[in-house]
Structure 1
């Protein structure tokens, strides 16, 4: 298996242009030989790994593989990869093995990704600034990846360190993070991180290469890497300060003549933006059609389809016809679809779910006479990363090493719960775990500063990543004991808490922004609220809003605690940007851990803060 020679673009200006150039055709001496007219190439791809080195559990470790209609049932049920005591899917030890097996029989193979390889990671990676995940990607022979929004969680300079290597002087574990533990070194990524549409506002150049060219025995394939242009609205403002995120279509199309001028006609876009498959029609044993959840191998050729509102569709429809294929991500969904390009030709668009549960296996033919991919030859299929194969020893060694490093941080018991504390919401969108986190943020003394104690805490639901379960025992702790690792898995972003001033009228505007503006089509983003604050709503109409039983005064100023992601206008809550007297406190995970310790044992209360009429 050959990975090919590499040419990487230097930092690219915001507007790029170049003359189109064609190299002479190779002599036609036979099929699929180094000097023949065609070369068969395999492209393996995945996306949204999020530092899941160990096999993910629960819903994060399963996928739909089929459907069944139980006797007497009127609707089908999903069959998943962990049904009937199957072990689930995912984990880098298994992903690496599956990729190695998939490469067998393919003389020429490349492996690429579509962003969010790091960020929002489990503690095993997150505690070390995701250095272990970069090492794991090196070990599984990743060739290139687009950046995703979560690559900016710690800022673009940290992302550049992920590429180039080096250590951070972070106090040897201070704030539960430790770069280069015990004197280890960090070499950086051996693959190319690509950021074509992320531009430094001062220099006008992309912060990382815009593209890379892989040369396989004279077959040149150019890979353009991009994140979604709306990245600033979904990451902390500090993480993208000084950066401009340009339009995906305009950026990629401007790079086409640049690549052509280098003799590259075969072009693949790696983009951290995606789609959502609609429900599939499934015929049960009674021969009746049922609408069911899409399976992991959802393919438009097999009757699946993307929801017409999927963001990837208008991008795919407008990208230059010279671009031969699109590897997408961000939505954590599995699909393999053809979307017509501006010339009316089918073009493959793929996504491999998330957390290393799938990879996409694509085969294509490169014609040396045209120096291009034969579009009709492109065939893709999503493949399960099952756990019935041998673990890759190099990946196991990385995990074993960092599990030792993380023990002092991860295994510490910080509190006790009397029952599961979940993200299961009431009709209004209020969650037991959301209540706990909001209460922890309100109680945190680090945000008081010189402005006084906050009155209200608001937490974004997307920042709550998993449940606290009574029976969990990763380190042999007693049932109900909560370790720092469990708490970190709930809130893995290392966001800072922020207190700020908002008027009662502005707080009501925030509540309306949960279902209006850019959030109108998102199915509502219901902020979790602290004890004493309550409100009602009906549809898109806000009802009563109270604090400690009294109506919120539109003219009065209230002190509000939130995280720096929301304070920067994240998740499309722009009213936060109009706040005053902004004061930064400590990390959200520290507030969460301290509150659990101070309020142990913790029992979830009634969901009576948010009411939908």
Structure 2
């Protein structure tokens, strides 16, 4: 089968354990590591914009259909047939923010799929914590004692848990400093011991519901990883690979892409972390930012080291080919590849994983009745979310309007929506007559958030909007809140921090800093999620536990969907 891939080879002499000057001899071992990041329960393939293919009708190009458990399983089988010393691992966010087929069954089908595909270990991701620590421990260990009894143990009568280990070297209990999840994992293949250390971004408590992780501390990533590098050295491993749910982006204007070999234009949070991680680590498999890159970042000694990420949803598998000198506990070379998982090609060639096909059909049989419920025929073929989180989007406008309409009875006059909560275009794939189903809507807002309302002063609203580009949300982490009809303002990115928001108006009238306004948002934002801590200062807070955000959007679409044009409403003037 033809594969699209990129590769990078680095010559290394990284001592993982032995300090003896004696040079021993043994046949080197070739080990292949395949990594999957930000899968988010996408058991079915989705469009990968990184590769364009001709349309069937010959009228142009369209995004490649890529990923999905069946095609991933086909790739794993092909690689294992070539090299039995293959290890399948994850970069976090394997579950959470998932489509209906997985999410309505509490992501148990996804865990079952990855277990059957032979995954050995994965970094924890922030979305693994979406439903809180107790539920995540259940996902790891099994059982039916869930905070969602309507969803748990409905895929299979007894949920067995994950056969792979979620790793969290930097996640500890506040009470005693112990790790609720294993910090590392060692796999022996071909006589070589390969150690994996897992970590999640330390800012996880700011981007998940704070109550769900209240008993945990998330420590510095590099410091925690280096602590366990020393442990693995003492255990005599022959190679160390880091799995970290933190990533970067290619610099604005860069010509480098997912298929650029040894890219140098990487920036973002992963770069300073990688620069601090012990040189004994041979490569870093990253995630979180849903980007495709195969870059090099200097280690603490200045030597180049691979940092790789595989887009999202299984579109790319990160492949590392290591040549290991097990006699002297050294990695002689590392070759890095981003392999495109072409679903259509594998389906045509008959090399999809039949076990995954059967698993997906079982999950679909249990969820399709809900997924396929008709909602509306849109007035546009598709309403799109933003390509980045620092801009207004047509879909963000619609969601904010839906939330305002759903909370007007509680007095709301403005609604705010976090861009990171918008997970797909509406619909992801255009249908005949612009039809929208519940599954399409759920894919947009899969978190199970409910609505909330509170009072904020005009001054607090301005302070809230300043947080979009300040502090933890500065630079590439900027997050522009989507706002409802009637509310407008200007965001000047070139102005000093704290002075970027101006011209705030509601229905054409300037916002009064001293006046009080009733505002709406989802439950995640209401507790300060995504670093919008001003929401925690709100007064007269009402949590509408019976009003799910997805239901608010469904109701709005039924009432107004036929009139929607799919255009950005330009409520926010962004000056760059």
Normalised by the size of structure 1, how large is the TM-score?
A: 0.81
Q: Offset of 1:444 from its aligned partner?
A: 2.3
> Match for residue 486 of structure 1?
440
Contact in 2 for aligned 1:471/1:479 (Cα 8 Å): no
Greater shift, 141-150 or 327-336, is seen at 327-336
> Match for residue 49 of structure 1?
39
Q: Does 1:544 align with 2:506?
A: no
Contact in 2 for aligned 1:47/1:116 (Cα 8 Å): yes
Q: Does 1:575 align with 2:534?
A: yes
Q: Offset of 1:566 from its aligned partner?
A: 1.9
Q: Does 1:262 align with 2:242?
A: no
Paired with 1:515 and 1:86, the residues of 2 have a C-alpha distance of: 32
> Match for residue 353 of structure 2?
392
Question: What runs of 5+ residues in structure 2 fail to find an aligned partner?
Answer: 1-15, 54-58
Work out which of the residue numbers 321, 325, 330 in structure 2 matches 1:373: 330
SS of the residue 2:338 aligns to? strand
> Match for residue 62 of structure 1?
49
Q: Offset of 1:218 from its aligned partner?
A: 4.2
Matches within 5 A, 1:389-428: 389=346, 390-419=351-380, 420-423=382-385
Work out which of the residue numbers 158, 173, 177 in structure 2 matches 1:185: 158
1:295-350 Cα shifts (integer Å, max 9, x gaps): 432221xxx3233x322221111111222221111122222233332233332222
Q: Offset of 1:249 from its aligned partner?
A: 0.9
Q: Offset of 1:100 from its aligned partner?
A: 1.1
> Match for residue 205 of structure 1?
178
Distance 1:444 1:238, change over 3 A: farther
> Match for residue 106 of structure 2?
129
Contact in 1 for aligned 2:172/2:218 (Cα 8 Å): yes
Contact in 2 for aligned 1:271/1:329 (Cα 8 Å): yes
Contact in 1 for aligned 2:51/2:63 (Cα 8 Å): no
Distance 1:480 1:343, change over 3 A: closer
> Match for residue 56 of structure 2?
none
Contact in 1 for aligned 2:310/2:338 (Cα 8 Å): yes
> Match for residue 86 of structure 2?
109
Paired with 2:384 and 2:420, the residues of 1 have a C-alpha distance of: 14
Q: Offset of 1:87 from its aligned partner?
A: 4.7
SS of the residue 1:223 aligns to? strand
> Match for residue 594 of structure 1?
555
Q: Offset of 1:551 from its aligned partner?
A: 2.3
SS of the residue 2:294 aligns to? strand
Distance 1:311 1:609, change over 3 A: closer
Distance 1:379 1:522, change over 3 A: closer
Matches within 5 A, 1:105-254: 105-168=82-145, 173=150, 178-181=151-154, 184-216=157-189, 218-254=191-227
1:253-279 Cα shifts (integer Å, max 9, x gaps): 111222233333532211111222347
Contact in 2 for aligned 1:596/1:602 (Cα 8 Å): no
1:3-44 Cα shifts (integer Å, max 9, x gaps): xxxxxxxxxxxxxxxxx985999996752xxxxxx3221211
**Larger Rg belongs to:** 1
Contact in 1 for aligned 2:192/2:238 (Cα 8 Å): no
Paired with 2:295 and 2:392, the residues of 1 have a C-alpha distance of: 36
Q: Does 1:90 align with 2:80?
A: no
Q: Does 1:323 align with 2:284?
A: no
Contact in 1 for aligned 2:527/2:536 (Cα 8 Å): yes
> Match for residue 426 of structure 2?
468
Matches within 5 A, 1:304-315: 304-307=263-266, 309-315=267-273
> Match for residue 345 of structure 1?
303
> Match for residue 356 of structure 1?
314
* Number of positions where the alignment pairs a residue of Structure 1 with one of Structure 2: 541
Distance 1:83 1:136, change over 3 A: farther
Q: Offset of 1:96 from its aligned partner?
A: 0.9
Contact in 2 for aligned 1:25/1:369 (Cα 8 Å): no
1:230-263 Cα shifts (integer Å, max 9, x gaps): 1222223233222211001110111122223333
SS of the residue 1:601 aligns to? helix
Paired with 2:187 and 2:451, the residues of 1 have a C-alpha distance of: 44
Paired with 2:473 and 2:361, the residues of 1 have a C-alpha distance of: 42
Q: Offset of 1:577 from its aligned partner?
A: 2.2
Q: Offset of 1:126 from its aligned partner?
A: 1.3
Contact in 2 for aligned 1:168/1:180 (Cα 8 Å): no
Greater shift, 396-405 or 343-352, is seen at 343-352
Distance 1:255 1:168, change over 3 A: same
1:526-581 Cα shifts (integer Å, max 9, x gaps): 21112232223444443322223332221122221111222232233222222223
Q: Offset of 1:169 from its aligned partner?
A: 5.7
Distance 1:218 1:384, change over 3 A: same
Question: What runs of 5+ residues in structure 1 fail to find an aligned partner?
Answer: 1-19, 32-37, 67-81, 280-290
Contact in 2 for aligned 1:364/1:373 (Cα 8 Å): no
Paired with 1:102 and 1:198, the residues of 2 have a C-alpha distance of: 33
Paired with 2:37 and 2:461, the residues of 1 have a C-alpha distance of: 37
1:203-231 Cα shifts (integer Å, max 9, x gaps): 32122111111123542222110011112
> Match for residue 247 of structure 2?
274
> Match for residue 565 of structure 1?
524
Contact in 2 for aligned 1:26/1:369 (Cα 8 Å): no
Q: Offset of 1:351 from its aligned partner?
A: 1.6
Contact in 1 for aligned 2:135/2:146 (Cα 8 Å): no
Normalised by the size of structure 2, how large is the TM-score?
A: 0.86
SS of the residue 2:562 aligns to? coil
1:389-423 Cα shifts (integer Å, max 9, x gaps): 22100110111011111122111123332223333
